[in-house]
Chain A
Amino acid sequence: MSEKCKAKLINFVKKSVFADFIRGLYITFSYNFEGAMTLKYPDSEKWIPYRRFRGLHTLNKNSEGKELCVACELCSRACPTDCITVIPEENDAGRGIADRVAKVWEVDLTRCMFCGYCEDACPTTAVRLGREYELACTTLERGTRSRDELLLPQPVPEALTGGVVAKARFIRSADGIKVVAELGKVRQRKL
């Protein structure tokens, strides 16, 4: 029997016993036991992203608690959407690592596209994109975040690698909706 004939015959037998069909059914049935990819966000779970995640900006301090930002304005120059405002001032009281510190450091999140150019441009690694991603707000003022807030410690500490699903609580406040993660209770996500 020629090769072609053989292939045709095999094909016919396969079709008449519904081989491919049964394989498809087997695959979909096996998905039943895999559990769901879906997170119960925002009800009771929250995704903790990896460190590489580019979320809300953070302004950092060094180990002595001094602000790293020297108000050089490089970030605002580098920003493609022009959404960082830096106004420098002189300060000898040791607030920052140099005597030039930022009087105003503001980012307009409604324009920011989280490209990360600002953190690339920063000579002192003062500005970093953090892991906060619940940025929806009900007033336009909340769309602008300024220095005081960005200097606060991060809800997800730097030490945590991320990439896990944490138990979370759903909180409604005047500021909008927040899902607060309990970092102690985490599980790996099925991939």
Chain B
Amino acid sequence: MPELGLIIEVVLIFIKVYIVGMILFMLPLPLTWLERKVAGRIQVRLGPHRVGPKGLLQPFADMVKLLLKEDIIPDKADRFLFKLAPLLAMIPAFAVFVAIPVGDTFTIPGIDYVFKLYISDMNVGVLYVLAIGGLGIYGIIFGGWASNSKYSLLGGLRSAAQMISYEVALSFAAIGVVMMSNSLSLVEIVKSQGGGFWNWNLFYLPVGPVWFLIFFIASLAEINRIPFDLPEDEGTLGSGFHTEYSGMRFSFFMLAEYIAMVTISVLAVVFFFGGWMPPIDPATFGIKVPAQIMSVWGIGWFIAKVVVFIYIFMWIRFTLPRYRYDQLMTIGWKILIPVSLITVLVTGLMRIFLT
């Protein structure tokens, strides 16, 4: 008979997984609305405004439409892979969130139970996130291959090449973060940035901003967003790997894409912007604030930072045109990777001589 504590722990983990899963499933609804509103604003138009107040119910209308659509599988498609691909794209996007902390711990007052605000604090969290996040590419490649359409295949190939090129730079950026924070665990990385915004990795001068830029550019390419969204380049490829998909399967791809955007925003916040740490910590001024309030306050900051990042991703999407394929490769191999190698060196020397 296992102890009661262990059972409670396991049940709690199930509940947390369920809550996180539900939130992630629901996230694309506000995000599509937001994206279309942002697009409208930037293009001096209104965006959705007819369904519900301010168009807020538009995503539900879209959802109903997608659910009711016929689910077409092309005649010559590889049926098994075709059905598997959307799931392969979606599941890793969800799985990444196992390692992501939204806060440290919350001590429930009265019973003194320490509630962890993350599902699991892996000691190799960074590696896990990068590895699982990288798996999503299989969905895209399979989708491109199984559709038996040249446009889909080209989209799939492009995204494979792009992922391989930029995964390197992204991993380097992660290495930089690990060096700056001295840990591979995401919780530890955030904790090392506590105490005020000048302790954030972004302000680890002079290398912090460089790492952030490398991370940001590489992650834009990783999640296939403009200016690096060549895999779904409407102008030349129809819509790339999901050209042949419709209905629910298509929406799985969309879901995966939005969640990838959230993941990258969360990672940027955790790596460089101090996660749930508020920019100015009252403790540095000797003001005592109860720990419970601090953790709730921290979650607020975490969400605020993530929302800002999501906005920035959308903002960039409607500002920049798309890169050409050779430019994409040039940026990846000839600029990002050499720069990150140099920055690794500088960061290493700083760690040796400054600490």
Distance (whole angstroms) from the CB of A44 to the closest CB of chain B: 10
Distance (whole angstroms) from the CB of A115 to the closest CB of chain B: 31
Name the residue on A nearest B50 (C-beta): A43
**Chain B residues near A66 (CB, 8 Å)?**
none
Q: Are A29 and B45 interface neighbours, CB within 8 A?
A: no
A43 CA / B41 CA spacing, docked (Å): 20
Q: Are A36 and B40 interface neighbours, CB within 8 A?
A: yes
Q: Are A31 and B43 interface neighbours, CB within 8 A?
A: yes
Which residue of the partner chain, among A21, A24, A25, A31, contacts B41 with CB atoms under 8 Å?
A31
| Stretch in B129-137, B188-196, B253-261, B316-324 touching the partner | B316-324
Which residue of the partner chain, among B44, B315, B320, contacts A37 with CB atoms under 8 Å?
B44
Distance (whole angstroms) from the CB of A146 to the closest CB of chain B: 37
The binding surface of chain B is classed by DSSP as loop
Q: Are A29 and B320 interface neighbours, CB within 8 A?
A: no
Distance (whole angstroms) from the CB of B214 to the closest CB of chain A: 13
Interface assignment of A40: CB less than 8 Å from any CB of chain B: yes
Of the four ranges (under 10, 10 to 19, 20 to 34, 35 or more), the interface on chain B belongs to: 10 to 19
A27 CA / B43 CA spacing, docked (Å): 11
A38 CA / B50 CA spacing, docked (Å): 13
Within 8 A of B (CB), among A15-60: 21, 24-25, 27-29, 31-32, 34-38, 40, 43
**Chain A residues near B49 (CB, 8 Å)?**
40
Given A25-B315, A38-B46, A40-B46, also A32-B320 (CB < 8 A): no
**Chain B residues near A32 (CB, 8 Å)?**
41-42
Q: Are A25 and B44 interface neighbours, CB within 8 A?
A: no
Name the residue on B nearest A36 (C-beta): B46
Given A40-B49, A43-B50, also A25-B43 (CB < 8 A): no
Q: Are A28 and B44 interface neighbours, CB within 8 A?
A: no
User: B residues engaging A (CB < 8 A)?
Assistant: 40-46, 49-50, 315-316, 318-320
6 of the cross-chain contacts (CB-CB < 8 Å) are: A21-B320, A25-B316, A28-B319, A31-B42, A31-B43, A37-B44
5 closest A-B pairs by beta carbon, nearest first, are A28-B319, A38-B45, A38-B46, A36-B46, A28-B42
- Contacts A25-B315, A29-B315, A32-B42 known; list 8 others, CB within 8 Å: A25-B316, A31-B41, A31-B42, A32-B41, A35-B44, A37-B45, A38-B40, A40-B46
